[in-house]
Structure 1
Amino acid sequence: MSDREQTAVGKSGMKLCQGEAANLENLWMRLRSEAGRLWNEEEGLRALVDDVVLSRDSFAKSLSARLSRRLAREDMPREIMEPLIEEIFTQHDHIARSCSRDLLAMFERDPACFSPLEPLLFFKGFMALCTYRVSHQLWQDGRRWLALYFQSVSSEVFATDIHPAARIGCGILLDHATSFVVGETAIIEDDVSILHEVTLGGTGKETGDRHPVIRSGVLIGAGSKILGRVEIGTQAKVGAGSVVLNDVPPHTTVAGVPAVVVGEARELNPALEMNQKLDCRGAHI
């Protein structure tokens, strides 16, 4: 059996667990097992693997270590940042569950991802989402200055800018992530797939709900700009480079500047299928 075939089998097995995302133990044991193999194979990565996975006793503590390694700096050194992040995960265990759903989404939907350990160690889209989840909890707790601090550092490190007040569900694939921007009142439901250079922005100086609403199952192509309080309906597709200024009906595909409906989304769930073709004339998004 080839490496790719073995990986496909592994992905299928992990997919069966995705509906049990609250059960972090299965995922955590899989991560520890693969980290052990990596430790044996790559001497140069042993310090990283040991610090982030092998020396930890839970997924939440592993995430805390990984994020603090990436985000710590003179303003907030690791010895202060890591306990802060770990405390948030401990007090709000749903955050770690949401992060696990994000990790599995990236593993399942990205054909370039051969192990669930890869997003934890290397994928800045995953780490940006986890950092957002920390900042969002701080925002909800009234610690807005600290929430904005995490947003700022994440923007510098991961090249994404997600306002901590935005509401984002779980099972999110943020592929590549570079230049992903999300405004304060944006809403993203569960099981959405988003490619790089996507903006969920406002259209001016209006206050109140002024950013997009992305319903579940949506696939958003690279470089798309969705502006204003528009709604992208359930299981719709947005073509790459589109500028969306109006609501998009469920199960439809839009493309263009400005975006118009060009067909129906043929997939039952475009975000999970990741079929990046327009549904007319065979053009690619």
Structure 2
Amino acid sequence: MTHPIWQTILDEARDVAECEPLLVRFLDELILAHEDLEHALTNLLAAKLNCEATSLIEIRLIVEQALQADPTIIESAYNDLKAVVERDSACDRYSLPLLYFKGYQALQAYRISHWLWSHGRQSLAQYFQHRISVVFAVDIHPGAKLGHGIMIDHATGVVIGETCVIGNNVSIMQSVTLGGTGKEQGDRHPKVGDGVLISSGAKILGNIHLGEGCKVGAGSVVLKDVPAHMTVAGVPAKVVGRPNTEQPALNMNHSLNGD
């Protein structure tokens, strides 16, 4: 049975193809020729991550292997699509993130690299990380653990470190860093709770915790734990209020005035 979101994507692609003949071949290759999101993502990610030094067929086989072995990757891909459509005011179609949004594409590519990392194929996972960084300008270490329903909006310059853990329904804007504080070893990166909103340019550094439903203001530097359902801003970041909703990631209100 066709997934309802995939059926919607097919319908959207057909509508665009009728209006824009120039895009027919493009839409056919990326959407219309495929029976489901799994096959479409396999084709898309293989094309994006391949380079002259590797075989397109071999990259496609690796993506297929990961998707078939772990059905949660596709479940997360659907949840991530819903997150973009529901939270991004510039997105009114499910097909748009799949076709054009590098934050969504980079996130799905990361999920393949994480599967490789988790199955002892660290060298290949690091190759995928490198290609994701080159192609999408997004650097997510394959060892990081990311939940579902995540939106990485615009995405350019996002960095997520190896021991970072991100919960579900989190929204991350461009130029955000979830990094370490120096040359320390071991568990050294942030842990982000469900429903957190991290505004553009924020830097969250060290093995600290962002509590569930908190908000980080744009350009902030966070060096200490943030309690659940609090808003922090500044350099260094301090508590400046409370979000006006339990999961600020869902309403995408970056203003501090309403807190």
TM-score by length of 1: 0.88
Q: Is the 8 A contact 1:217 1:272 kept in 2?
A: yes
Give the match for residue 172 of structure 1. Answer: 150
CA distance in 2, matches of 1:130, 1:173: 11
The Cα shift of 1:199 comes to 0.2
CA distance in 1, matches of 2:54, 2:38: 20
Give the match for residue 136 of structure 1. Answer: 114
Q: Is the 8 A contact 1:253 1:279 kept in 2?
A: no
Q: Summarize deviations over 1:68-115 as a string: whole Å, max 9, x none.
A: 222211122322212221221112111011111111101110000010
Q: Secondary structure at the match of 1:157?
A: helix
Q: Secondary structure at the match of 1:133?
A: helix
The Cα shift of 1:24 comes to 7.0
Q: Secondary structure at the match of 1:200?
A: strand
Q: Secondary structure at the match of 1:249?
A: coil
Q: Is the 8 A contact 1:263 1:279 kept in 2?
A: no
1:83 aligns with 2:61: yes
Give the match for residue 15 of structure 1. Answer: none
Q: Summarize deviations over 1:188-242 as a string: whole Å, max 9, x none.
A: 0000001000000001111111000000010001000000011001100000000
1:148 to 126, 130, 139: 126
Give the match for residue 33 of structure 1. Answer: 11
CA RMSD across the alignment: 1.3
Counterpart of 2:121, as a letter, is: R
Give the match for residue 158 of structure 1. Answer: 136
1:216 aligns with 2:194: yes
CA distance in 1, matches of 2:65, 2:17: 28
TM-score by length of 2: 0.97
After superposing on structure 2, the runs of 4+ consecutive aligned residues of structure 1 that deviate more than 6 Å are none
Give the match for residue 194 of structure 1. Answer: 172
Structure 1 unpaired stretches of 5+: 1-22
CA distance in 2, matches of 1:86, 1:42: 31
Counterpart of 1:53, as a letter, is: I
CA distance in 2, matches of 1:174, 1:214: 14
Counterpart of 2:45, as a letter, is: L
CA distance in 2, matches of 1:269, 1:250: 10
Q: Secondary structure at the match of 2:168?
A: coil
CA distance in 2, matches of 1:141, 1:42: 43
1:71 aligns with 2:39: no
Relative to structure 2, which stretch is displaced further, 188-197 or 64-73? Answer: 64-73
Q: Summarize deviations over 1:19-38 as a string: whole Å, max 9, x none.
A: xxxx9711111111111112
CA distance in 1, matches of 2:146, 2:207: 15
CA distance in 1, matches of 2:60, 2:29: 12
Counterpart of 1:234, as a letter, is: E
Q: Secondary structure at the match of 2:3?
A: helix
Aligned pair count reads 259
CA distance in 1, matches of 2:53, 2:148: 30
CA distance in 1, matches of 2:46, 2:15: 24
CA distance in 1, matches of 2:227, 2:133: 32
Relative to structure 2, which stretch is displaced further, 125-134 or 35-44? Answer: 35-44
Structure 2 unpaired stretches of 5+: none
Q: Summarize deviations over 1:250-270 as a string: whole Å, max 9, x none.
A: 111000000000011111210
1:45 to 14, 19, 23: 23
Give the match for residue 36 of structure 2. Answer: 58
Counterpart of 1:106, as a letter, is: V
